[in-house]
Amino acid sequence: MPSPAPLAQHQTPQPPTAVRPAGSRWSYAFLIDIGVFISVFAVIYGVYSIGHSWLGPVKAESEISQDPRSLPLYALYSLVRILVAYALSLVFALAYGYTAAKSRRAEIILIPLLDILQSIPVLSFLPGVMLAMVALFPSRQLGVELGSIVLIFTGQVWNIAFSFYSSLKTIPRDLREAAIIYRFSRWQRFMELDLPFSTIGLVWNSMMSVAGGWFFLMACEMFVLGDKDFRLPGLGSYLQTAAGRGNTSAMLWGLAAMVSVIVLMDQLIWRPVISWADKFKFEQVESARGMQNSILSFIRKESFVIRFYRRILHPIVEWATMEFASGAKRAAQSIRANPVTKPRPWFGWLLAGLSGLAVMYGVYRAVAELARLPLAEYEMLLRSAGLTFLRVNLALIIGALWTVPVGVAIGFSPRFARLMQPLVQLAASIPATALFPVILLFLIHLRGGVEIAAMALMLLGTQWYILFNVIAGAMAIPTDLKEVTSVFKFSSLDRWRYLILPGIFPYLVTGMVTASGGAWNASIIAEYFHFQGRIVQAPGLGSTISSASDAGRFDVLLASTLIMAVIVVMINRLVWRRMYRLASTRFKLET
């Protein structure tokens, strides 16, 4: 019989199999994968829904459902429109502000033009924008969607352009001289000096622009042009339909959905961006530790977007910077080695001539249209303009009285900022137009309640322009200047006189200019509102523009828009332009 096999003691002992405890990293990763899969699925569905809606056949009049179950899809539609309009606004504002700040000839034309454009109400852009977009895409819903996006764009872009232009005009001389000494190309100067120095103002004005998009959402998603009724599914049209029918339950559901979207944007986008932008503060000493943000820390560690930027986008930007720099150097050497004669600017003169002919033709047609209005109509328009002028300036004064001290306190105190900054961002992002039906419920039965409601809406829609710019100005004041006031024991009055007011002055001017234009723009909604199946209006230029748009009276719409633009341009020329000049000379941060 064969001998038994060798015993187990001659074999190498094996370690016991490791047992993975419950709640281990595998289960955590599995949950993350499920969350990512659900998110990707939701994004794909959202893109499909938007594409199906935008590329579908044009709808003469969409029925806006009042079912709360439609709100998630409506919120997605509105959010996409606002974000697309903001992306267009940011690109346009950077190009426009850069051109106006860098070229004296362009500045002479572009800044007055910007004054005029920001004074034109959204509804005044409505006929030309919608007719042009529908003509480009006559058989697709895309034309109406693009028209709505362009209208939202006109309510977002101007304060970003003003902020960027103002920041470029106040760049310290020593920084500009350093860029010249190191022979920065235009691209290098833009990426390494202009854009970083303007970041704080751009971030806070971007928040204000998105808030402005929510403000005008109701007017941009549901509007009447003559005999055509345009309705786009979204939160704005949902709220306006609910207000028109007097459906209080639907109004509250729509308001809750809008607040939820705004809170998510604040937590996931604006708070991390504000914390990130603090590193662009112009300092000569080490500043105190800024406000911490746990969400920002999570995004820095886990975000695919940040990884994509660091590994793909950032190297592309670095390569473009070096390529532009070497290209500028080679161009400079070739110019010195082989001087060439400057070609004749015949193309520029030809373009200027064609533009002049187009302007003359437009003026001729406009004058012919305005000549049809009787003199009594113009007298009524001037009285209406006077009433709106009083409301606008009263709203500016009331807004400045509380926003300047509160904005300085938020910008100076990190502890106070941690408490107030989220509240301010949330309050500013909630559109006053969404709250307006609720305000009317309480004020419409009072004597003079419509006037009070109109004044409240204009104030709610414009005070944030001042507050956000004051916060940005207070945050941009260098720490060493604050320490000087503490070392020399400045009194509160001297600190405001010699540090705070001069430091925030350029930002305050920008805020007041954009708030003034925003108040005139807000008058079209504050003075004329569809509520409970009827029209509630207060006398003024805004209500005249809104009623003319509803009735298809393009002659009245043109005349009232022209009067509003002339008033705003005169105010800017007599007041704000001088303030800008003072900000770029006397109150410029220099060393």
Q: Report the distance separating Cα 113 and Cα 467, nearest Å.
A: 25
Highest mean pLDDT, choosing among 17-26, 329-338, 381-390: 381-390
Contacts of 233 (CB under 8 A, 6+ apart): 53, 62, 64, 65, 70, 73, 74, 77, 221
Residue 357 CA to residue 39 CA, distance in Å, equals 53
CB 526 within 8 A of CB 459: no
pLDDT tens per residue across span 368-403: 777 778 888 888 888 988 988 998 889 899 999 999
- CB burial of 161-171 (b: ≥16 within 10 Å; e: otherwise) equals bbbbbbbbbbb
Q: How many CA atoms lie within 13 A of 384 on its CB side?
A: 28
pLDDT for the residue numbered 308: 56
- Residue 92 pLDDT more than 90? yes
Condensed to tens digits (0 to 9), the pLDDT of residues 443-458 reads 777 777 778 888 888 8
Residue 223 has pLDDT above 80, yes or no: no
Domain limits of the chain?
A: 71-302+376-583
Strands 228-231 and 528-531 come out as: unpaired
Helix (H, G, I), strand (E, B) or coil at 226: coil
pLDDT of res. 322: 67
pLDDT, position 340: 47
pLDDT above 50: residue 273: yes
pLDDT band for 404, please (50, 70, 90 cuts). very high
Q: 533 vs 29, which has greater pLDDT?
A: 533
pLDDT score, position 366: 73
pLDDT at 515: 85
Q: What is the mean pLDDT of the chain?
A: 75
Q: pLDDT tier at 405 (50, 70, 90 boundaries)?
A: very high
Question: What is the reported pLDDT for 401?
Answer: 92
Question: What whole-number distance in Å separates Cα of residue 403 and Cα of residue 417?
Answer: 14
CB under 8 Å to 397, separation ≥6 — which residues?
none
pLDDT at residue 260, as a whole number: 86
* Relative orientation angle of helices 122-136 and 541-551, to the nearest 10 degrees: 30
CATH class of the region 71-302+376-583: mainly alpha
Q: Which pLDDT value is given to residue 271?
A: 77
pLDDT grade for 31, boundaries at 50, 70 and 90: low
